[in-house]
Chain A
Amino acid sequence: MTLAALLSHWARNKMQLAMLLAGLTLATALWSGVQALNAQARGAYATAAALVSEDGAARLDTPSGQMPQSRFVALRRSGLMVSPVVEGRVVLGDTRVTLLGIEPLTAPPGTAAALADGDLQGFVAGGGFAHPETLAEIGPSDLALTPSQAVPVGVVLVDIGTAQTQLGMAGQISHLMLTGPAPRPLPEGLRLSQADAGAELDGLTDSFHLNLTAFGALAFAVGLFIVHSAVGLAFEQRRGLFRTLRSLGVSLRALTFALALELALMALIAGLAGLALGYVMAAALLPDVAATLRGLYGAPVPGSLQFSPVWALAGLAMAFAGAVLAGGQALWRLWHMPVLAPAQPRAWAIASGRAMRWQVMGALGLGVVAVVLAFTGSGLFAGFALLAAALLAAALLTPAVLALCLQGAARFARAPVVQWFWADSRQNLPRLSLALMALMLALAANIGVGTMVASFRATFIGWLDQRLVAEMTVTPRDAAQAVALESFLMPRTDAVLPLRRVDATLAGQPGAVFAMRDHATFRDNWPLIQAAPDPWDRLAAEQGALINEQLARRAGLWPGDSVVLPGAGAVSVLGVYPDYGNPLAQAIITEGWFDRLYPGTPTRQLAIRTDNPEATRAALLDEFGLSAQAITDQAQAKALSLAIFERTFLITGALNVLTLSVAALALFATLVTLSGLRLVQLAPLWAMGLTLRQLARLELARALVLAGLTMGLALPVGLMLAQVLLAVINVQAFGWRLPLQVFPADWARLALWAGLAMFAAAAWPAWRLWRAGGGPLLRVFAYER
């Protein structure tokens, strides 16, 4: 009965109901959508890990990442239970994939899940398995590939013999999987590593997922603003009803229970709708996320979504939590309302002076927290906490700052309508403040993330131009071909710069040591962030090493410090170079020294300087007989790097748009629900001789002015956000720090969008006011309220 009476309110206020449900639905959708993306990606890492190692099986490898196959046979014949793996990147059909060659008979049980119902004979004879998505990307190819969900995206699982042929690694293997107990001591020249590919990817991609989660939480918060305003308003409008029900003998407990039940009902409906929407959103975004993760980290994430009941339950729980958070205040006030509280519709946030003071105090408190975090915090989590505190402080401060602006404007107003315009805007601010806070957050997030991405792009492009200075690079098939290539190219080109590397642990971090030939190419172009005096001469003189920024920042190593290189002991740091896009630590030493420290390391690539790339390419293809796939020219490399970069931030852009949309919806919801209340305030002006058209225009203008002011406020907040992203989050997450650059054109575009969003939100209530004529206003005069 009581519930029915409560619910009848919604039948009369359908728009309010729609907004409440839409807010909660959107909040749940964005949150659970992001969670689905994260879960999908993490699940994929686990699949990838399971493919190459069961239960965290360890691997044995060499620093050079290669060993002869005879080593495997010798180890087996000495009783060591190992299984060989050949791994490499190769162009198959229309795409580049990771070719994973295993030996099915010695591989640990469960390794080749893909083979479960496959044809072993066909596999050994040159068949293979790949995820259906990978197969689609490859298109027609020479290999007989069978679709299998058990293989990570971007990987083609083949027999070891097939992999050796395809990769030109006859007689060579990449590493060994340990299928029995680890030997003690380790065979000479081999390293034991817990081949926890999943954990490794987890670590690398953590920052990406934290990023997504932060966005999801922001969107959820913005959605809650909508719900909160709708619930609060519905509460105020039903004060009279509550009073009547209480007078009729409905107990406070029963009334509160009924209201809670109503809220739960809404949460359930909105939660289910939100899950559906979130699923659709995640499914739509997943291909981009997957492409990003594959491009940035080589993480094999399929582009199709799976449904998980745990995820659904978590999403529903979030919907309920959100409803409680947004509606709790209303329930609390109901509980404390005297039986005959005046039914005066003092709209719900109007006792605002005190509320605003509290908000300002809260903002200051959070500001202090942010400052303390900025100076003392470390780690990614602290970075995000700093961001959250700063953003929330800015949001809380928004109404007070807007109020000050409006007050100032009113002081300069002379005409009565203008005076009223400012005064009225200010008086209505508390009712709009939640939606405006949401808008401010969305705009600040847009500015901040946009500035970060644009700064990154600008720096990245400049860096690419410096780093990718070689006209082309060639990938030799094996060590012998590398030698042959070098002597073939020497007389035909300006310079041949071989690339050799060994894996190494640098200052406790996974990484690699590279060999660099002393050449003007590097001296002239290789960018350094910090350098000791004469870094290049001293590098050539074997007096030290260059390290990448990631290593420098994480380990706190700068010119003047020293870094321990395997086999060489402590070595001076001569310079630090930026190394965007690479998650691992790096050190560079001069070629001669490298060859003495790590003899027999194969050349992975040859960088070629030449005035005539076309001729060189033709010579390599025709005279040397190299395959076209082994040659990459500079333009290709740049295009590839940029494509990866763009994809990396595609998802960020999509979430930005979504957040802004939610904020616009919050505004719309608030303005629509407020339009009834506004009539009371507008009616006297109409009676005194303003036309409806004038009033509607003023309403629209007010919304645009508020949007403009909010945008003005969001700008510094957004720049602060960008600065924190660049100086704290990026450094923690990726290990590089970028200079902040500003892009006013982007802001103008965003301001335009914000204005459009505000216009869209305000247009309908204004239009309705104008078109409905005087009827609704006349009722204001006639009704006893």
Chain B
Amino acid sequence: MNVKALLVLLLLAPPALAQGFAGLGTDAEGFAIPERGRALDFPRDHGAHPDYRIEWWYLTATLQGADGRDYGAQWTLFRSAVAPGEADGWDSPQVWMGHAGLTTPEQHFSAERFARGGIGQAGVQVDPFTAWIDDWHMTSTARAGADAYSALHIAATGPNFSYDLNMRAEGPLVLHGDNGYSVKSAAGQASYYYSQPFYTVEGTLNLPDGPVAVTGQAWLDREWSSQPLASDQTGWDWFSIVLQDGHRLMGFQLRGDQTFTAGTWITPQGEATALPDGALSFTPQGTAQVAGRDVPVRWRIDWPEQGLALQTEPINPQAWMDLTVSYWEGPIRVTGSHDGRGYLEMTGY
């Protein structure tokens, strides 16, 4: 287990090590750091950025069976670099980690994979787009000329579950923050962050009781950085919500000495409005005992400026990702001023 505990330290590299030298574009260890004003470039930025310390391809899906039962699925590929850059073979400084989750109202399944870069066991290829670790993959099925993320096929297998989902985007990519430059603390830590929040999904979940055909919606997050958190920040609560009227809301708070919030309000057409620190407020409404700790699984989200007041309720409060890096991640139902569905991720509990 210990090898992997070390890996966790690498993946969640303490930001104290990652204090940037503003203006130089690299930190003390030679990693690139995000710069405001640099325009994202697709399809190149769909691929990996080995000069940055960490990066992820993060897909969450809220799903329903034919009988209306709620499900949730998560597919994530994390990249973490021991040193900037890429090299062939075992000399590669890149380390890959895959997480897969599958939630039903009663059960929650999770699995993880690890791989070294450089030998082909895991990686991301831009054209044609595919991201993989072992037999798990996220592969573009977009027609020629379209954005690679406009249609995806994902699959993952755990010890007692698997899923196979096809996704089609019904809207454009959305850049968070300042054209994709997303500030993560009052001190200015930032990442590059964009999403594809408009997927409709159909596919199959394989559960211990048998296969279930599902449909639903999905949301892909892409983010990379070298300095994700400020030193006092202990964890975050992150929401991605699809409202019934077609609007999307991405919102998160980073807990620390001073809570930092941010979000993006997205119209059904894909127009994004960045919500600055303090615009959103997140209030725990109730906790559940999960994996031996108290986790606030019910929340109230307020955006007073827009009269938005949402109550969230987990499909399954026990959606704990009991892996080497452990956290809560699961589908939620949204009521209040608007109805909707979404995904909640909570770390640091």
A→B interface (CB under 8 Å): 69-70, 72-73, 76-79, 103-107, 109-110, 112, 115-117, 119-121, 124, 159-161, 164, 170-171
- B150, chain A: closest CB distance, angstroms: 25
- A146, chain B: closest CB distance, angstroms: 14
Chain B window 2-14, contacts with chain A (Cβ cutoff 8 Å), 1 for yes, 0 for no: 1110110010000
Chain B window 112-149, contacts with chain A (Cβ cutoff 8 Å), 1 for yes, 0 for no: 00111001110000000000101100000000000000
What residues on B are CB-neighbors of A160 within 8 Å? Answer: 90
Do B82 and A124 have beta carbons less than 8 Å apart? Answer: yes
A116 to B6 alpha-carbon distance, docked (Å): 9
Q: Is B232 in the interface zone, CB < 8 Å from A? A: no
What residues on A are CB-neighbors of B116 within 8 Å? Answer: 103, 105, 124
Knowing that A103-B116, A105-B3, A106-B121 touch, tell me 13 more A-B residue pairs with CB under 8 angstroms: A69-B119, A72-B119, A73-B119, A76-B115, A77-B132, A79-B135, A105-B4, A105-B95, A106-B115, A109-B1, A115-B3, A115-B6, A124-B116
8 sample A-B contacts, Cβ–Cβ < 8 Å, listed by A number: A73-B121, A77-B121, A77-B135, A79-B157, A105-B7, A110-B1, A112-B3, A115-B6
A110 to B132 alpha-carbon distance, docked (Å): 26
Q: Is B89 in the interface zone, CB < 8 Å from A? A: yes
CB-nearest residue of chain B to A119: B6
- A439, chain B: closest CB distance, angstroms: 57
Q: Is B271 in the interface zone, CB < 8 Å from A? A: no
Q: Is B91 in the interface zone, CB < 8 Å from A? A: yes
Closest 9 CB pairs of A and B: A161-B90, A79-B135, A105-B114, A120-B6, A104-B3, A116-B2, A73-B120, A76-B134, A76-B121
The residues in B between 289 and 343 inclusive whose CB is less than 8 angstroms from any CB of A are none
Which among B1, B3, B82, B91 has the highest number of chain A CB atoms within 10 Å? B3
CB-nearest residue of chain A to B89: A161
What residues on A are CB-neighbors of B114 within 8 Å? Answer: 105-106
Which among A78, A120, A124 has the highest number of chain B CB atoms within 10 Å? A120
A121 to B4 alpha-carbon distance, docked (Å): 12
- B66, chain A: closest CB distance, angstroms: 28
Do A117 and B90 have beta carbons less than 8 Å apart? Answer: no
Do A79 and B134 have beta carbons less than 8 Å apart? Answer: yes
A79 to B135 alpha-carbon distance, docked (Å): 5
Which among A70, A107, A121 has the highest number of chain B CB atoms within 10 Å? A121
What residues on A are CB-neighbors of B115 within 8 Å? Answer: 76, 105-106
B→A interface (CB under 8 Å): 1-4, 6-7, 10, 82, 89-91, 95, 114-116, 119-121, 132, 134-135, 157
Return the contact of B7 from the options A69, A120, A170 (Cβ within 8 A): A120
A104 to B121 alpha-carbon distance, docked (Å): 14
Return the contact of B2 from the options A78, A115, A161 (Cβ within 8 A): A115
What residues on A are CB-neighbors of B119 within 8 Å? Answer: 69, 72-73
Do A117 and B2 have beta carbons less than 8 Å apart? Answer: yes
CB-nearest residue of chain B to A125: B82
What residues on B are CB-neighbors of A159 within 8 Å? Answer: 90
What residues on B are CB-neighbors of A112 within 8 Å? Answer: 3
CB-nearest residue of chain A to B9: A120
CB-nearest residue of chain B to A74: B120
CB-nearest residue of chain B to A69: B119
What residues on B are CB-neighbors of A76 within 8 Å? Answer: 115, 121, 134-135
A117 to B5 alpha-carbon distance, docked (Å): 10
Which among B7, B89, B114, B119 has the highest number of chain A CB atoms within 10 Å? B119
A117 to B6 alpha-carbon distance, docked (Å): 9
A171 to B132 alpha-carbon distance, docked (Å): 21
A161 to B90 alpha-carbon distance, docked (Å): 5
- A117, chain B: closest CB distance, angstroms: 7
CB-nearest residue of chain B to A86: B90
Do B90 and A121 have beta carbons less than 8 Å apart? Answer: no
Which among B4, B6, B91, B132 has the highest number of chain A CB atoms within 10 Å? B6
Given A121-B10, A159-B90, A161-B90, do A78 and B95 touch, yes or no (CB 8 Å)? no
A207 to B132 alpha-carbon distance, docked (Å): 51
What residues on A are CB-neighbors of B1 within 8 Å? Answer: 109-110
A78 to B82 alpha-carbon distance, docked (Å): 27
CB-nearest residue of chain B to A163: B90
CB-nearest residue of chain A to B2: A116
Which among B90, B116, B120, B132 has the highest number of chain A CB atoms within 10 Å? B90
- B96, chain A: closest CB distance, angstroms: 9
CB-nearest residue of chain B to A101: B90
A383 to B4 alpha-carbon distance, docked (Å): 51
- A691, chain B: closest CB distance, angstroms: 81
What residues on A are CB-neighbors of B134 within 8 Å? Answer: 76-77, 79
CB-nearest residue of chain B to A113: B2
What residues on A are CB-neighbors of B157 within 8 Å? Answer: 79
Given A78-B135, A79-B134, do A120 and B3 touch, yes or no (CB 8 Å)? yes
- A535, chain B: closest CB distance, angstroms: 47
- A174, chain B: closest CB distance, angstroms: 15
- B132, chain A: closest CB distance, angstroms: 7
- B14, chain A: closest CB distance, angstroms: 14
What residues on A are CB-neighbors of B4 within 8 Å? Answer: 105, 109
A164 to B116 alpha-carbon distance, docked (Å): 15
A202 to B170 alpha-carbon distance, docked (Å): 65
A78 to B132 alpha-carbon distance, docked (Å): 12
A159 to B10 alpha-carbon distance, docked (Å): 18
- B107, chain A: closest CB distance, angstroms: 21
- B144, chain A: closest CB distance, angstroms: 25
Which among A79, A105, A106, A171 has the highest number of chain B CB atoms within 10 Å? A105
A69 to B4 alpha-carbon distance, docked (Å): 23
Do B3 and A107 have beta carbons less than 8 Å apart? Answer: yes
What residues on A are CB-neighbors of B2 within 8 Å? Answer: 115-117
What residues on A are CB-neighbors of B3 within 8 Å? Answer: 104-105, 107, 112, 115, 120
A115 to B135 alpha-carbon distance, docked (Å): 27
- B67, chain A: closest CB distance, angstroms: 30
CB-nearest residue of chain A to B115: A105
A159 to B135 alpha-carbon distance, docked (Å): 24
